[in-house]
Amino acid sequence: MDKKITLITGASRGIGKATAILLAKNGYFPILLARNEIQLKAAVSEIQAMNLEGTYYDLDITNEDAVKKTVNAIIAQYGRIDVLVNNAGIGYFKEMETITTTEWDQVMDVNVKGTFLLTKAIVPLFKNQQSGHIVNIASDVSRRTFPNGSLYCASKYAMDAFTSSIRKELRVHNVKVSQIMPGLVRTTFDGDVTEVDRKKEWLDAEDIANAVLYILQTPSSVVIDEVMIHPMCQEY
Ligand code: NJP
């Protein structure tokens, strides 16, 4: 396999799926990770229908044993991993006192612990290889807050701090760490309907996929630390 082995979490739909497709078109071998096997299969079929390569593993990124098993299976199959895109994420947007502890745990488990678990499983390999690139999809709310966003913002601020710390830790091992902070993106993130009027001027998932590709294509001596992207319609 001479293509770069690229793990993408949350690749069953939205930004993760768009990233998998764009990377496949550009010579990467995407490995799509998420829980919904029907959507994963459909995404890989789309890739293969273009005569491109890619595969999937169904994985709940909050399950440490499952994460370890999946990463080990991928290493056994392909011999190495070149890129990890930590993209899976969820959110609840409500008044602080109405947030349940279950909702708190769910968001923190996916956005923060899931990112940590995948990264922890792969970093020893990256250090061994003396190469690798981690791209974390955080949010513009890693840097700003808004009413009813306390839980989601807290999770994305945590992701930002985690990303920034490990960038400093891994640089000496020749491992790159980048972060993308999107504004509003037209996906199913806040519900099932993607084409309602209020979303028509939002970013496409492909806009974020393009940023991932740009970040990955820098020369070996260059790392893009972070990129913040907004639609023109969004005041920031
Ligand atoms: O969201 P969506 P986006 N284990 O809902 C997966 C951030 N962002 O593409 O498991 C594994 O279409 C889920 O897969 P499944 C956002 O915070 C977005 O918009 O099959 N995977 C699905 O593939 C997030 O970090 C906006 O249900 C799990 C994916 O996550 C990233 O962008 C703005 C999982 C979510 O797809 C992608 O979001 C912003 C688990 N336990 C940041 N739980 C925006 N859309 O406006 C969920 O600032 N997934």
Which residue is closest in CA terms to ligand 1's atom 42?
A: 139
> pLDDT by residue (tens digit) across 218-231?
999 999 999 999 99
Alpha helices in the chain (DSSP H): 14-25, 37-49, 64-78, 101-107, 115-129, 150-170, 205-216
| Mean pLDDT confidence for 141-158 | 97
Helix (H) or strand (E) holding 197: none
> pLDDT by residue (tens digit) across 74-99?
999 999 999 999 999 999 999 999 99
The two structure tokens encoding residue 128 = 């061994």
Question: In this predicted structure, what is the pLDDT of residue 195?
Answer: 64
> pLDDT by residue (tens digit) across 97-118?
999 999 999 999 999 999 999 9
User: Taking CB atoms and a 6 Å cutoff, what residues make up the pocket around ligand 1?
Assistant: 9-16, 34-36, 39, 59-62, 87-90, 110, 114, 137, 139-141, 182-185, 187-189
Question: In this predicted structure, what is the pLDDT of residue 193?
Answer: 60
Mutate to test the pocket of ligand 1, among 8, 86, 142, 189 (most ligand atoms within 8 A of CB): 189
The two structure tokens encoding residue 139 = 């949010």
Report whether pLDDT(192) > 80.
no
Please tell me whether residue 86 adopts helix, strand or coil conformation: strand
Report the predicted TM-score, pTM, of the whole model to 2 decimal places: 0.98
> pLDDT by residue (tens digit) across 13-39?
999 999 999 999 999 999 999 999 999
Alpha carbon distance 47, 59 (integer Å): 19
In the block, residue with structure tokens 């199959």: 77
